[in-house]
Amino acid sequence: MSPTVLTAGHVNWDVTLRVDRLPAADGEATIRSQRQSGGGSAANVAAALAGLEVDAELIGSVGDDDNGLLARRGLEEAGVSLSGIRVVEGAETAVKYLLVDDDGAVSILGNDGVNEAVRPADIDADRVRAADHVHLTSQRPETAARIASIAAAADVTVSFDPGRRFGDRAYDETVAAADVLFVTEREAAALADAAAVDSEPTDRIVAITSGGDGAEIRTPDGSYAHLGFDVDSVDTAGAGDSFAAGFLASRLEGAPIEDALEYANACGALTASGEGARSAPTATEVERFLEERAD
C-alpha cells in the first residue's frame, strides 16, 4: 500500500503573468502571456505527491466562488482527497498573481481570501492520526501547532515549510515539533538567528534549498549536498513544493538521505522547467529523468 501524507495550509488560485522583466518602481513591463491554475503551497505539495503515487490528503479552505470550484476540481483531477477542504459560503478564494520574468524568477502579489479559515477547533484529530506523515505549510500558527501536536502525540512524523512570510508569524511551536524542516537559504539564515536551524541538528532533518544550485540536507548524522540539475528554467513557482514532495515520497519508501535528496532535486528541476506551480512531474517522469542523467 502507498503511504498517506496529509498536507495542511493554503489552497489558492494562481494567475501567472509572464513578463519581459520584473518592473522597478515607476517602471513598466510587457505581459507576454497569462495562464491560470490551482496554487497554494499545501495544495501544490499534495498534488505533487499524488503524481508520485503517494496517497495525498489536504486540509485547507476555499470560498464558494468560481475560483474555489476550479481549485477543488484541479486537486480532484490530480488525485488529491478533498474531504478535508472547507468551503466557506459567501467568501472569496485567495488569488495570487505570479509575475515570472524570462529567467524564471518569480514575484508574487495576492490577497489572502479565505485560505486560512481552518482554525484549531476545526481539526479532525482522527484524520491527523491516520496519516503516515503530516506536512505543514504557511497557515494560522495556532492551527499548524494544533495539527503538529496531534501528530506528535500519535508518533506521526511532521515536516514544515514556513514559506516566504515566516518572519511575520510565530511558528515556534510548529518548528519545534518538526522532524523535517524545509527552508530556503534566506529562511535558513533568519531561522539560524532564532536558533531554529543549527549547522549540526541533533533531533531533526533540515533541508535547505538553493534554487538552481541544488540543496543541502543537514541531519544528526552529517550533512549531504547535491548541486542540482542543469535545466532551462522557465518558471520556478512551485519548485520548492515539488522538492518537498519528492523528498518525502522517497524517504517514505525507505530511500537513503542521499538518494532522497537527488530525487527531490530532480522533482524541483522538472517543475522549474515547466510552466506554473502545478507542473510537478509524475514518478515515471522523474525516473526517466534520473536514468538519462545517469547515462
Q: Which residues are catalytic?
A: 241
CA–CA separation, 106 vs 101, rounded Å?
7
Return the SS3 of 85.
Answer: strand
Residue 29, SS3 per DSSP: coil
Residue 195's Cβ-count burial label (10 Å; 0-12, 13-18, 19+) is exposed
Burial of 294 (0-12, 13-18, 19+ CB in 10 A): exposed
Please list the helix, strand and coil fractions of the chain in percent, rounded to the nearest 5, in that order: 35, 25, 35
| Spatial distance between the Cα atoms of 235 and 232, rounded to a whole number of angstroms | 9
Using DSSP, state whether 60 is helix, strand or coil.
strand
